[in-house]
Amino acid sequence: MPGGEFDWIAQLLRPLTRGAPEALDLLDDAAVIPSRPGFDMVVTKDALVAGVHFLPDDPLDLVARKLLRVNLSDLAAKGAEPWGYFLTTAWPGETTWADRALFVKGLAEDGEAFNLFLLGGDTVSTPGPLSLTATLLGWVPAGKAVLRKGARPGDRLAVSGTIGDGWLGLKAAWGDIDSPALLDRYRLPRPRTDLIPLLRSHARAAADVSDGLLADSGHIARASGCRVQIDLERVPLSTEARAWLAEQADEAGARAALASGGDDYQIVCAIAPDGSVPEGLTVVGRFVAGEGVAATFNGAPVAVDRLGWTHG
């Protein structure tokens, strides 16, 4: 591979700074970030590991874009405009320069799409699987970050987009389902950065749906000191998810599986108990006094063994 680490930084990574002065041309061991008067900085960090978060033979440009997008989803849920990122890569020994170049191609594409600047990071080798970490920075008006804490009994639970496509997309990646559309949704999440203004004005609490709708609604409930009740028949589903659902013998159980599968990267939030529902959101439940998560289907309780993804 040409030149090793410093060529990798100079030739492939430096262009990703897009000239941001804070990155210091990646010639230093740190970035220097000035404060932005009137704003709070929101920082989030997610990791992807081959064989855990993506398949080892997934195209590396899509892996790179997924790495940025799962973090962008966290920023969106906080109502934060994305700005810059730090990158850590741990490359297996067999990685080629072409592999790295393809990875950087994906970073460059989404850097332009979401106006992101690479600010620094680290690169190492590893005897294990490819491991990637991105730390994203975003800005939100001071005191206006949308937290998980903030829901109150009586608030409605609302979600964006459709639920279950990420989990079904993983099944497509495994070959259990034949659906290019679902596979695309698993490999390339669509972070809901378009909802940032809506969340700032309407959401009392929010989270992105990464672990699963049931689990992430539960995260909001726990942080807010509430109980959340979810009506599975109201959860919005894509055409592909409805087609899969029609083939299942146990509709209630299948809907619970879709709501606990994860990797959807939609936004779930608490909104006021009355008034119109903001465009782009679907009400799927409510917050009440108590604790925990309850799911029903057409009014009947549904026992859910697993609320969502967990690393244990």
pTM for the structure as a whole:
0.91
Options 3.90.650.10, 3.40.50.10800, 1.20.58.1180, 3.40.1170.60; which CATH number does 156-301 get? 3.90.650.10
pLDDT tens digits, residue range 5-63? 666 667 777 777 877 777 766 655 667 788 899 999 999 999 999 988 898 889 999 99
Confidence of residue 116 (pLDDT cuts 50, 70, 90): very high
The CATH code belonging to domain 5-141 is 3.30.1330.10
Which residues lie closer than 8 Å to 231 by C-beta, 6 or more apart?
284, 285, 296, 297
| Residue ranges matching CATH 3.90.650.10 in the chain | 156-301
| CA 173 – CA 187 distance, rounded (Å) | 9
Which residues lie closer than 8 Å to 89 by C-beta, 6 or more apart?
103, 121, 122, 123, 124, 130, 131, 132, 133
Work out whether strand 156-160 and strand 117-126 pair parallel, antiparallel, or are unpaired.
unpaired
| Residue ranges matching CATH 3.30.1330.10 in the chain | 5-141
Backbone angles phi, psi at 172, to 5 degrees: -65, -40
Paired residues of 142 in beta bridges = none
